[in-house]
Structures are given as structure tokens and as C-alpha cells.
Amino acid sequence: MDMTLTRRAQRTIAYGFLFFILISMATPFVWMISNTFKEQYEIFQLRPTLIPEEPHLGNYIRLFAEFDFAHHFLNSAFIAVVHTVSHLFLASLAGFAFAKYAFPLKNFLFLVLLGSMMVPLYTIFIPLFVLVIRLGLVNSYAGVIIPGVAGAFGIFFMKQSMEAVPNELLDSARIDGASEFRIYWQIALPLVRPALAVLAVLAFMNSWNDFVWPLVVLRSRELQTLPVVMAGMVGMYRMEHGVIMAASLLSTLPILLLFLALQKQFVQGLTVGAIKS
């Protein structure tokens, strides 16, 4: 009797704490959404309103009309798609090689690959920028995409799933005279589709949300991505909080929708490093 009571008490406390944190986590989202429909004066009035008293779409209209939101949205989308596709190709190709071939220096090269993940971004930041200028890639999407396109993590991840592809399938394709690239492309790649999906959501999100590197590479406004343009709204003489919140919401929406559609892939992609450790 006594035990069940304490268990009930424990359960109440546990749920209370979990829900308290859940509400704290949800509040910024709710506040963001609510404020996109408010005029600045209502955002700043002393008594906060959850449902806008005078809801209006002015913030969204201004976001598209004055800040050219659709244009920057497409910039971000273009970079993210090109990054994701190229990354998937290079990572799966190299992962296939590491999983399915024996070749001299393989172990050493793989160690180098793992070691490359230790290079801190900010240490190479300044020389990388100098290099990108010298290569004539500054202020171009190539300059944003190319330096980070062949990430070691993706290769490591694809190697794991490529190892599960049966060797017999590859060998029988070889007997039929298929080239090694064709074997990768037509036999191995379709079999690792689930892993590709996991890596794709991860790569897309990382590129979509990336801020610092596009900030330094993309000098002219018409090329800039959403995070860069949004950061620029902060320094303005009069900050338009409603417009900024609308931009934050719309910029987060694609990732949220992608997450709702591909929940399992997201969770797997973001925790895979922990499992593999």
C-alpha cells in the first residue's frame, strides 16, 4: 500500500517535471508563431497576448515585398539541394570503396579520414577564406558548397551500410561484365537507400541552417541565404520583430515538414554518431 502510494507520487512528480520542460521548450515556438501575426506595438505591450488582438498578415507581406524572402529562400534551397546530392554521391562512392575493396594503405587512409573530423572549423577559417578568394570562388555558390562537400562523417556512415551489401551480387555482376562504377551505381546504391535517406536529411538540414561560412563567402545580397539575410535584420536601425519572427518561422518550416515526414531518418541521422561510438 505504502509502496504504491510512493510510486504514484513519483509518477506525478516525473510527469510534472517532464511536462514543465516540454512547455518551456514549446513556448519559444508558440511565441514566435503568435508574434508573426502582431503589429510591433502589440508585441511590446506590457500584457503579452497569445492570440493576437488584431491579427494581421502585414509581417508576411513585408517579408516578401521588402526583404525579398522568396528569392533568398530559393538561394538556400538551391545550395542545400546541390550540397546534399553531391555529398550523397561522394560519400556513398567512397564508402563503397572502403567497404568492398581491399587495397594497399586502406587502413591508413581510413585513419586519416577519421582524423579529418578533428580539424576545428574556426582554425582553418581565415586561410580557407583567403584560398577561396585566390581560387576566384568568393561570392559564388561553388565557394559555399565545395569546401565541405565530401565530409568524412558521411563516408564513415555509408561504409557501415555498404558493408551489408552481399559480395555475391557484386561478383555475379562482374562476371556479366559490368564496370565497377556500374556495380556501385546499379547494384550497391539501390540497396543502401535507407541509409542514403538518413544522410540526406542530415546533409540538407546542415546546409540549410549553415550560417558562418555562407556569411563570409557570399558578399552580394542577391546571392545570400536565409540565415545570413535574417542575421542582417538584427543590426537594422529599427528592428521589425514581427517580420523577423515571420522569417524565422518560414525558414524553419521546411525542416519541420521534412522532420514530420521522415522522423525516423532524422532521429537516426542525428544519433548515429553516438551509436557508432
Partner 1 sequence: MSSASITEDRSLRAKWSRSQRKVVPYVFISPFYILFIVFSVGPLIYALYLSLHRWPGSGPMRHVGLGNYTYLAGDPVFLKSLGNTVYYAIGAFLFILPLALVLALLINSTLIRLKSIFRIGYFLPILTSTVAATLIFLLIFNNQFGLINQGLALLGIPALKWLDEELVKISVLAVATWRYTGINVLYFLTGLQSIPPDLYEAAQVDGAGTWAQFRFVTIPQLRPIALFVGVVTMIGSFHLFAEPLLLADGGPNEASLTLANYLYRMGFTNAKLGYGSAIGWVLALIIFGLSFIQLYLFGAFRKED
- What residues from 180 to 239 belong to the interface with partner 1 (CB under 8 A)? 180-181, 184, 205, 208-212, 216, 226-227, 230-231, 233-234
According to the binding rule CB under 8 A, does residue 248 interact with partner 1?
yes
**Under a CB-based contact definition with an 8 Å cutoff, are residues 144 and 217 in contact?**
yes
Helix, strand, or coil (residue 219) = coil
Q: Which of 63, 79, 88, 97 binds partner 1 (CB under 8 A)?
A: 97
Q: Which of 3, 6, 177, 238 binds partner 1 (CB under 8 A)?
A: 177
Q: Of 27-35, 51-59, 60-68, 189-197, which segment contacts partner 1 by CB under 8 A? A: 27-35
**Under a CB-based contact definition with an 8 Å cutoff, are residues 231 and 211 in contact?**
yes
Size of the site for partner 1 (CB under 8 A): 95
According to the binding rule CB under 8 A, does residue 61 interact with partner 1?
no
Q: Of 51-59, 63-71, 128-136, 191-199, which segment contacts partner 1 by CB under 8 A? A: 128-136
Give the integer Cα–Cα distance in Å for 57 and 50. 16
Q: CB count, 10 Å around CB of 108?
A: 9
**Under a CB-based contact definition with an 8 Å cutoff, are residues 138 and 219 in contact?**
yes
Residue in this structure with the C-alpha cell 580557407, named with its chain if needed = 128
According to the binding rule CB under 8 A, does residue 157 interact with partner 1?
no
Cell numbers placing 189: 546504391
Q: Which of 77, 81, 85, 131 binds partner 1 (CB under 8 A)?
A: 131
Residue in this structure with the C-alpha cell 539541394, named with its chain if needed = 81
Q: Which of 125, 172, 219, 264 binds partner 1 (CB under 8 A)?
A: 125
